Amino acid sequence: MGSRKTSWAEPFKIKMVEPIKMTTREQRERCIKEAGYNTFLLKSEDVYIDLLTDSGTAAMSDRQWAAMMLGDEAYAGSRNFYSLEEVVREYYGYKHLIPTHQGRGAENILSQCMIKKGDFVPGNMYFTTTRIHQEIAGGEFIDVIIDEAHDPSHEHPFKGNVDLQKMEDLIKKVGASRIPYVSLETNVNMAGGQPVSMQNIKDLYHLCKKHNIPVMLDATRAAENAFFIKEREKGYENKSVKEILREICSYTDGCTMSGKKDCLVNIGGFLAVNDDQLCLKAQNLVVVYEGLHTYGGMAGRDMEAMAQGIRESVEDDHQAARIGQVRYLGQKIKDAGVPIVLPIGSHAVFLDAKKFLPHLDQDEFPAQALAAELYVDSGVRAMERGNVSAGRDPKTGKNRRPKLELVRLTLPRRVYTQAHMDVVSESVIELYEHRKDIRGLAFDYEPENLRFFQARFKKK
């Protein structure tokens, strides 16, 4: 057992493999040009190591594949719905389950049910799809994360925390009646995969209760957040990820979930709530946008695989290996002096593109340019999380120029090996040595909504 104490070795062995192929630099130069220097527009076949996202990219276990065979594809009342409902009640603790095709489906329903025109929706940093649904429903997103979260080098252990003073100030300014709920994200994606502490969740919940404001959790990476609480928060060292996850949810009134992350499935999501009236309203909308309330856009087999994925996601060993691999990659890159977001988060290593490419203005999209160059160098696909993702301010029409201008090297769960991580770090380090040669980008085509997905660029 001695070696298990420090090793994060994976608690699984590999039963099936999927071949990947290395391309030549000339091929990759052509591919990225054809993709308008946007890694979202590359064909996956032309990618060697795909670190675009941890969303829907996990390897399922043999037990999950076996669960797929138990699919009951009835239009109404599939047994897999009841099985998922039971698991969500046991592991997350919410009373009602409304399945959706993925996270943004749940965000749409929640936003439509709760937000009125002119409302304010506070949250601990925006997420792209979450904010756009809040805006479409007539709300305005207000960032109430602690200031440290916007500083890539600040090593606060719970950089995802809500600033309770900012919350109180907002309540004072606009009144609780114009705040339909607080959107609380665990392991804040845009901040670099940074956790929220249990104390902060508890304090937020009590503050909100006083003003009758519900707390809605974005539980997409809540199990990963639970692991950080176990490691870093006093009093939780001997609790399991499973117990901690349940406690997190107990200080919230419901959640939206992208099952494509923590839950270890390739597609699916849900909305879960405790309030009976809200559940009825959501069930009434889910039939408009997603499907009947007992499948909500998911196949029966996918609901069963998700139920099994949830059971696996709270295993302490699973999270230790998951987060251990991210840290292995991050540490190698950091040790070479490359600027990254600290502390290293749960699902990705984030390169600080502002510090990496100080010769570029933020409107030349340094993170977008760096992600394109990384692909050309080694066939590794990453994602921009900076000025392109942040979009334009609807009031001024200007680029939002967020403080964080990042390239995200996102690790799919249970997919790549330590040797793959070595390839990635070598390529990043080599690019850093040649960083002065990297040029900026300008828009060739800029879509109106969530522009980062489909935008095209040209080299400056």
Binding site for ligand F0G (CB under 6 A): 53, 55, 102-104, 127, 129-130, 185, 189, 218, 220, 258, 260, 269
CB nearer ligand F0G, residue 92 or residue 440: 92
CB nearer ligand F0G, residue 269 or residue 402: 269
Tell me, yes or no, if 128 is annotated catalytic.
yes
If we measure between CA atoms, which residue out of 331, 326, 330, 337 comes closest to residue 435?
337
- How far apart are CB 450 and ligand F0G at their closest, in Å? 10
Query: How far from 190 is each of 54, 159, 384, 385, 392, CA to CA, in Å?
Result: 13, 11, 11, 7, 16
The catalytic position among 261, 301, 332, 414 is 261
Beta strand segments in 219-268, E: 254-258
The catalytic position among 4, 62, 63, 75 is 75
- How far apart are CB 351 and ligand F0G at their closest, in Å? 16
The catalytic position among 37, 126, 127, 181 is 127
- How far apart are CB 260 and ligand F0G at their closest, in Å? 5
Distance (Å, whole) CA 326 – CA 120: 35
CA–CA–CA angle 269, 271, 274 (5° rounding): 150
The catalytic position among 385, 413, 414, 451 is 385
CB nearer ligand F0G, residue 222 or residue 372: 222
Distance (Å, whole) CA 127 – CA 133: 10
- How far apart are CB 334 and ligand F0G at their closest, in Å? 22
Strand partners, 445: 456
The catalytic position among 54, 218, 262, 302 is 218
- How far apart are CB 261 and ligand F0G at their closest, in Å? 6
In the block, tokens 């609380």 appear at 184
Tell me, yes or no, if 218 is annotated catalytic.
yes
Query: How far from 364 is each of 116, 360, 441, 460, CA to CA, in Å?
Result: 36, 6, 5, 8
CB nearer ligand F0G, residue 127 or residue 356: 127
Distance (Å, whole) CA 24 – CA 379: 9
Tell me, yes or no, if 127 is annotated catalytic.
yes
Task: Give the nearest residue (CB) to ligand F0G.
Answer: 103
The catalytic position among 53, 57, 100, 128 is 128
Tell me, yes or no, if 72 is annotated catalytic.
no
Query: How far from 158 is each of 91, 201, 234, 250, 274, CA to CA, in Å?
Result: 23, 11, 13, 19, 27
Q: Are 8 and 328 in contact (CB under 8 A)?
A: yes
CB nearer ligand F0G, residue 55 or residue 61: 55
- How far apart are CB 267 and ligand F0G at their closest, in Å? 8
Q: What residue type is 185 in one-letter code? A: E
CB nearer ligand F0G, residue 102 or residue 308: 102
Cis bond before residue 19 (omega within 30° of 0): no
Tell me the catalytic residues.
75, 127-128, 218, 261, 385, 452
